[in-house]
Amino acid sequence: MSGPPDLSKALEQSGLIDVAYFVEDGPAGSVLLASTSLGLVRVAFLGAERAALEPVLVELSHRLSPRVLESRQRLDTARRELDEFFSGRRRSFEVPLDWALVKPGFTRRVLESTARIPFGQTLSYRGVAALAGNDRAFRAAGTALGSNPLPIVVPCHRVLHAGGGLGGYTGGLEVKRTLLRIEGVLPDTRATST
Amino acid sequence: MELPPFQLLLDRYSHDVHRFLIANVGITDADDCYQETWISALRAYPHLQHATNLRGWLLTIAARKAIDLHRARGRAAVTMADLPEHGHVDRPDDDPVWEAVARLPPKQRAAVVLRFLLDAEYATVAASMGISEAAARRNVHEGLSRLRKGHGYEWTA
């Protein structure tokens, strides 16, 4: 026995955590889930050895509240839904969302349109721009998707180039391929496993 | 005011806060004081004006919790008889000097612990104890002098 006692329960019960987060390891690598009292506010791919953890926490602190603390319990629902999605038992997310990190206007409309693309289906950048109300703004739609603070849950991986190319992805193209394989859009013929 | 995420404070300073409280209030009460310290800090954190010395700020809160506890116990009870017998924390518990430190008067003990166990600057010692830097130096020197006379320990400030 050594060191200070674990405060996670006491801090959870204090009601003073404004932004709770937890890191899950799965097929998409280490994924941070963060939640406010309103709902899931951030999903972030942390890369190898969770290198991006501190910058993401700093971003949450500066943009939402410095009361950022790890809490497994506060992320229970999101963690369960994500786990079910990865194991093929869930096709859509029900966890409430907090859009606080999304720029209002066109970006918000693009991401809300993206959230309505069903599991296993894809749309082109132009298609998403059209759903958001301006089919000529496909470049702006690409930028909006690139800024998605809620990847996987707001499924920007379902937006592809019209010609069949994968387009881009914040978590890297390998993660995008993994997600599309889970949904059966890409054939499940992986040479390596994670 | 752009403050670092609170979790980073917890990750970086939890050991310092805990060691400070063990040395100040003893192992039995340290855990309660420790929890109260962090809850108070979390409550006050968004209103903090300066982020220049967050460790000092946390130790200030911990020092206040320790003082509150001493007041609640009454002065006579401040004996620190309940220091750990074995190495519960990563500090030199087997060194009898800590037994002697534990018997110092509260202010001298707090100052000596901050200066030597936590390696704090005099400014931090002063801020943590709510006293001037001169008074912090005086408390450290008086504490060291007492240790030297009473127990033959030779430390330099």
Q: Which helix (H) or strand (E) is B23 found in, with range?
A: helix B6-25
Write down the domain spans for chain B.
6-151
Q: Do the Cβ atoms of B89 and A68 come within 8 Å? A: no
Question: What is the identity of the amino acid at B73?
Answer: R
Contacting residues for A97 by C-beta, under 8 A, at least 6 apart: A39, A40, A41, A150, A153, A154
Nearest by CB to residue A4, choosing from B3, B5, B18, is: B18
DSSP assignment of A14-30: TT--SEEEEEEEETTEE
> How near does any CA of chain B get to the CA of A60, in Å?
8
Q: How confident is the model at residue A189 (pLDDT cuts 50, 70, 90)?
A: low
DSSP assignment of B60-103: HHHHHHHHHHHHHH-GGGTT-TT--SS-SSSS-TTSTHHHHHHT
Question: Is the pLDDT at B114 greater than 60, yes or no?
Answer: yes
CA distance A43 to A151: 6
CATH topology of domain B6-151: Butyryl-CoA Dehydrogenase, subunit A; domain 3 (1.20.140)
Interface residue A62 vs chain B (CB under 8 A): yes
CA distance A137 to A124: 12
* Chain A residues inside the 8 Å CB shell of B40: none
CA distance B42 to B37: 9
Give the pLDDT score at B94. 52
CA distance A115 to B74: 62
Nearest by CB to residue B45, choosing from A1, A57, A66, is: A66
Give ipTM to 2 decimals. 0.90
Beta-bridge mates of residue A123: A159
* Chain B residues inside the 8 Å CB shell of A19: 5
Q: What is the pLDDT of residues B21-63, one digit of tens each?
A: 988 888 889 999 999 999 999 999 999 988 888 998 999 899 8
Phi and psi at residue A25, to the nearest 5°: -105, 130
Q: For an interface test with A, which of B2, B3, B6 has the most A Cβ atoms less than 10 Å from its Cβ?
A: B6
Q: What is the pLDDT of residues A119-135, one digit of tens each?
A: 999 999 999 999 999 98
Q: Do the Cβ atoms of A69 and B7 come within 8 Å? A: yes
- For chain A, list the domains and their CATH numbers: 8-86 (3.30.160), 106-182 (1.10.10.10)
